Amino acid sequence: MVTNLAFAGFTHLALHSLSTLAGVASFPLFTWLTYVFERMGVIRVTTAW
- The structure's pTM equals 0.42
Q: How many Cα atoms sit within 13 Å of 40 on the Cβ side?
A: 8
* Residue 47 pLDDT greater than 70, yes or no: no
Region of 41 please: left (phi>0), alpha (psi -120 to 50) or beta: left
- pLDDT tens column, 3-44: 788 888 788 888 888 888 777 777 788 888 888 877 877 666
